[in-house]
Amino acid sequence: MKPLRIFISSVQKELSAERAALRDYLRNDPLLRRFFEPFLFEDLPAADRRANQAYLDEVQRCDLYLGLFGNEYGYEDGEGVSPTEREFLYATELGKTRLIYVRGADDKEKHPKMRALIRQAGNELIRRRFTDPATLLPAVYASLVAYLEEHQLILNGPFDGAVCRGATLKDLDEAGMKAFIRDARASRGFPLRESATGKELLTHLNLLDEGHPSHAAVLLFGKSPQQFLNSSEVKCAHFHGAEVAKPIPSYQVYRGTVFSLVDQAVDFVMSKLALQVGTRAAGAQAPVTYEIPREVIAEGIVNAVAHRDYAATGSVQVMLFADRLEVWNPGRLPSSLTLANLRKPHGSVPHNPLLAEPLYLTQYIERMGTGTGDMIRRCREAGLKPPKFEIDDGFRLTIWRTAATARPLPPEKMSGKMSGKMSGKMSGKMSGKIVQLIREKPEITIPELAKRLKRTERTIERLLGELKAAEIIGRIGPAKGGHWEVL
């Protein structure tokens, strides 16, 4: 089959980055490149003919017209009409399929003639808004997949875009959707207003199919996603040794939306890691440094949740061992990526594009295509070995730990208040051990601490008192039945 030609319209310099990103995306996506070939005016070779006529000739040749409308109107000819408007009007006259994407939440800053063109396009066909290439690409993807399905060029779209059987709008959480809009507006300048309805949000994110919620809609905003997709859970386990062994000291199965899954799994890991408590010399809060940076753990877990194969029956597994953290998901790399590519700059080809966009909008995914590189960099900065990526009946990420116990806290790193009281009595290493044991088991008792640290109960009571006086730990509740808290 000959690829369908897409004319990407807009000669405005302000949208050059979006045009280039869109062209590269269409040429590299495993599905879209099979069916579409993009055309940009930058790709037009020099020829002895007027540029305006050359563009119109390309509009006539194309199968789809894709218009990007920004703030500028562009160069005006003798009749006061820009090439962008000429191309749109000609595509309309020829009856071409037209897809319009408008940059920005509103049109206040736009040229008056551009505002008029947007209104005209809005009266004739559905248009979408975007803020940057990261929000443009998933919207275009959804529109083109819908085009292929409508023309029966493919029978099924991506799993996250397919209708979730049995789910209705009543199964989605309106409060969660409202909260998403607020977060997305604050984080990425999301164009929808806070007064938008849940249905308007789902429509904007392409999460509805003839009024029915898609799998992505249920995973993102479902009241109980596992009712419809029972494998969309995260299993977390903590082992004291370097191998899987029973009994498992700590094991949790988390359920909920993808946002909740990521948050709960990250908190599980962070609660088990060794940490170093610093001094309050620079401020009211004592700095705490974890052996693995939180950003690395979050990136690994969110990637597993966002890019897994939700059609598979397996669950995401997060396993913390004495020497490493392993994150496994039932997924695979896209054909355009290799394990080696993950260690250098690479394009983003999300397995679940409609799921990935909302995660980006709420800053769960910081930058498309740079996450693995950021993980490697942060691990090196923390003195850790680079993460390992493997294909192992799914995709496995291994992040190495420094040690199974907390790093010692040198006396010179303690606050003056602490060092004055504890000089010669308690080393930084002992401080780190006590804080780490409390972190792992907040309800730990004084006899247990004494046994684990091989100290007398009287010594433990004194050391705990010094830690409390330094406001590093606190006691919640009564002596019996309460628990400790790292401040």
Same domain, 433 and 464: yes
Q: Which of 225, 250, 268 is at the close of a domain?
A: 225
Q: Could you tell me if 29 and 66 lie in one domain?
A: yes
Check residue 431 and give its pLDDT: 65
Q: What are phi and psi of 127, to 5 degrees?
A: -125, 160
Last residue of a domain, one of 136, 155, 174: 155
Determine, yes or no, domain membership for 212.
Answer: yes
Nearest CA-CA partner of 36 in 161, 174, 145, 178: 145
CATH code, domain carrying 125: 3.40.50.300
Domain membership flag for residue 481: yes
Please tell me the distance from the alpha carbon of residue 347 to that of residue 28, in angstroms, as a whole number.
8
Domain boundary among 133, 155, 177: 155
What are the average pLDDT values for consecutive 10-residue runs of the chain, which has 487 residues?
A: 85 82 91 91 59 81 93 88 91 91 88 91 72 89 86 71 91 96 94 94 93 95 95 94 86 96 95 73 65 93 92 91 94 73 74 90 78 88 90 88 48 40 46 78 86 84 79 74 74
Give 291's DSSP letter. Answer: S
Q: Are residues 239 and 335 in the same domain?
A: yes
Residues 58 and 126 in one domain: yes
Report if residue 310 sits inside a domain: yes
| Total Cβ atoms within 10 A of residue 235 | 16
* CA–CA separation, 143 and 33 (whole Å): 14
Return the residue matching tokens 């496995």. 396
**Could you please report the per-residue DSSP string of 192-210?**
S-TT--HHHHHHHTT-EET
Quick one: pLDDT at residue 425? Answer: 37
Burial of 283 (0-12, 13-18, 19+ CB in 10 A): exposed
Per-residue confidence (pLDDT) for residue 51, from 0 to 100: 59
For residue 254, the domain's CATH number is 3.30.565.60
Q: Does residue 407 form part of some domain? A: no
Residues 420, 372, single domain; the answer is no
Indicate if 81 and 210 belong to the same structural domain.
no
Within a domain: 381: yes
Strand runs (DSSP E) across 201-330, as ranges?
208-209, 212-213, 234-238, 250-254, 275-277, 288-290, 316-320, 324-329
- Distance separating alpha carbons of residues 221 and 179, to the nearest angstrom: 10
CA–CA gap between residue 87 and residue 273 (Å, rounded): 59
Q: pTM, whole model, 2 decimals?
A: 0.56
Beta strands 316-320; 483-486: pairing state: unpaired
Residues 319 and 441 in one domain: no
pLDDT at residue 252 in the model = 95
Q: Is residue 450 part of a domain?
A: yes
Residues 270 and 220 placed together within one structural domain of the fold: no
393 with 332, same domain: the answer is yes
- DSSP tag of 418: H
How many domains does one find in the chain?
A: 4
In a domain? residue 408: no
- Contacts made by residues 90-93, CB under 8 angstroms, sequence distance 24+: 90/56, 90/59, 90/60, 91/7, 91/9, 91/59, 91/62, 91/65, 92/124
Q: Collapsing DSSP states into helix, strand and coil, what is residue 476?
A: strand
Domain that holds residue 198: 161-225
Backbone φ, ψ for residue 103 (5° rounding): -85, 135
Q: How far apart are CA 487 and CA 466, in angstroms?
A: 14
Domain assignment of residue 218, yes or no: yes
Residues 22 and 140 in one domain: yes
Per-residue burial over 10-49, b if 16 or more Cβ lie within 10 Å, else e, is bbbeebeebbebbbebbebbebbeebbbbbbbeeeeeeee
Q: Are residues 432 and 354 in the same domain?
A: no
CATH code, 476: 1.10.10.10
CB atoms within 10 A of CB 9: 30
Residues 115 and 145 in one domain: yes
Q: What is the pLDDT of residue 240?
A: 86
